[in-house]
């Protein structure tokens, strides 16, 4: 039974659906999906078109909005919105260290997780769409990995879409994970250099913290082993519009004087563990590189291997000289499965996924070249998380796709830009701009 309730200016309804784990075996095992329907209070009884929102990630549930903030307020002017918790996330059937052992050992868990990529998410959408819309096509808004899913949607089931809107999420159609990270590390370095130009005092602060971590065994209150590599990974914040400022505030009060000398403060450690822990989104760590798997080559911890090609990211070498410490970005590494207590039980499972060689294609270039769905994409210039050159190459493949290339926003533009980003994309898709 669905349950409806109100927040300021919006009526929300909890929706639950049952879908096959493997859509190629529709009579086999099933899992549950959760979605939250949102409609403007003054339009609650109107027959409105639908927009389904696909969150970034992979591994994150849909936004838990209060009221009508950000892009949602603009969407609710003309749509009913379905905020979908993609399989394995949020209130959908979970996949984490507590539940995955129900599958069996690491091999069974890895096999299970092969069903948590963009193609399965698209099939989920198509399975629930008739129940939600009565069979009518719906619009999709895909942020980041949700944009990857949207391109897969245009490849696999374009008949289900009335409009395709993408923000910061045009994937390469054929790049191996190695290609993705070879393009990423120079971008990450540019973001770090820009951060230090804005906050030059952070050069010494970051070096001091890194030096402390190289010479001390630090375990955060939640049991996370806080290594220098883990500290560097906090640079993932630099991909957001306010990320440089948040990183600066994190670094400015890292140490406190104690009877035993200077130590990392409890406040700093508390913030760091909240930023580093994958307890709330373990799927991100487990299948992040798998979203780039499309052929017989394993991903094989691509971000870790490719990082070795960029020695400036080596913290010990930077500290041995006078180089600034380089932070890293949105990447997953094998050491995370040693450091994070939420991931440690899943290390062997992750290793099996990294070694897998039977990934199936996610995108259909021929079908994209024949696309007839009105489509628009925001491409954030020098996006830290998604390579601009890869994105524009894909944009040229999708027939009729209109792009808005902008450096006004970082990767989180659809959130930070409020209604403006969605407004612009709708105008482009409708040939009104």
Which amino acids are annotated catalytic?
144, 358, 411
Question: How far from 303 is each of 97, 195, 233, 316, CA to CA, in Å?
Answer: 23, 22, 12, 19
**246 token code pair:** 């948040």
Q: Name beta bridge partners: 401.
A: none
What is the CA 293 to chain-centroid distance, rounded? Answer: 16
- How many secondary structure helices (H) and strands (E) does the chain include? 18, 11
| Distance in angstroms (rounded) separating the CA atoms of residues 159 and 47 | 21
| Distance in angstroms (rounded) separating the CA atoms of residues 142 and 71 | 12
Cα–Cα nearest to 406, from 433, 427, 377, 381: 381
**142 token code pair:** 């895909």
Contacts of residue 41, Cβ cutoff 8 Å, sequence gap at least 6? 6, 9, 10, 11
**∠ CA 262-264-268 to the nearest 5 degrees?**
145
One-character DSSP codes across 27-57:
TS-EEEEEEEEEEEGGGTTS---EEEEE-ST
Q: What phi, psi does 164 have (nearest 5°)?
A: -120, 120
**Contact criterion met (CB below 8 Å) for 419 and 71:** yes
> Burial of 64 by CB count in 10 Å (0-12 exposed, 13-18 middle, 19+ buried)?
exposed
Question: How far from 15 is each of 18, 101, 153, 371, CA to CA, in Å?
Answer: 11, 27, 22, 31
- What torsion, rounded to 10 degrees, do the Cα atoms 87, 93, 96, 102 define? -120
């Amino acid at each position: 039974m669905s349950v409806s309730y109100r927040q300021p200016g919006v009526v929300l309804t909890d929706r639950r659906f049952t879908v096959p784990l493997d859509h190629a075996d529709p009579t086999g095992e099933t899992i549950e999906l959760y979605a939250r329907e949102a409609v403007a209070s003054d339009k609650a009884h109107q027959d409105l078109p639908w927009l389904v929102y696909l969150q970034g990630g992979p591994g994150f549930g849909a936004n838990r909005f209060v009221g009508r903030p950000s892009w949602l307020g603009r969407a609710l002017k003309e749509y009913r919105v379905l905020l979908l918790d993609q399989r394995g996330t949020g209130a959908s059937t979970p996949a984490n260290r507590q539940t995955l052992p129900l599958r069996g050992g690491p091999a069974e868990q890895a096999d299970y997780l092969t069903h948590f990529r963009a193609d399965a998410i698209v099939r989920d959408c198509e399975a629930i769409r008739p129940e939600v819309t009565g069979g009518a096509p719906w619009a999709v808004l895909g942020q980041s990995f949700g944009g990857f899913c949207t391109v897969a949607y245009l490849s696999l089931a374009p008949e289900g879409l009335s409009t395709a809107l993408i923000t910061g999420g045009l994937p390469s159609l054929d790049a191996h994970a190695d290609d993705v990270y070879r393009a990423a590390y120079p971008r990450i370095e540019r973001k770090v250099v820009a951060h230090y130009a804005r906050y030059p005092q952070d050069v010494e602060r970051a070096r001091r913290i890194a030096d402390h971590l190289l010479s001390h065994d630090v375990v955060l209150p939640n049991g996370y082993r806080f290594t220098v590599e883990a500290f560097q990974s906090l640079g993932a914040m630099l991909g957001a519009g306010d990320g440089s400022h948040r990183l600066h505030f994190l670094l400015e009060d890292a140490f406190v004087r104690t009877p035993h000398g200077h130590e990392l403060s409890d406040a700093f450690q508390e913030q760091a563990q909240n930023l580093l822990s994958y307890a709330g989104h373990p799927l991100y760590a487990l299948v992040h590189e798998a979203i780039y798997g499309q052929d017989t080559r394993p991903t094989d911890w691509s971000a870790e291997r490719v990082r070795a090609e960029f020695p400036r990211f080596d913290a010990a070498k930077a500290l041995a000289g006078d180089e600034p410490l380089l932070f890293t970005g949105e990447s997953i590494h094998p050491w995370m499965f040693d450091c994070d207590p939420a991931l440690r039980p899943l290390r062997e499972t992750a290793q099996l996924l990294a070694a897998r060689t039977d990934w199936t294609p996610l995108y259909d270039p021929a079908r994209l070249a024949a696309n007839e769905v009105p489509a628009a994409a925001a491409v954030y210039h020098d996006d830290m998380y998604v390579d601009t050159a890869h994105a524009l190459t894909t944009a040229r493949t999708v027939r009729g796709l209109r792009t808005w290339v902008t450096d006004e926003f970082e990767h989180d533009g659809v959130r930070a830009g409020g209604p403006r980003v969605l407004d612009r994309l709708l105008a482009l898709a409708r040939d009104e701009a």
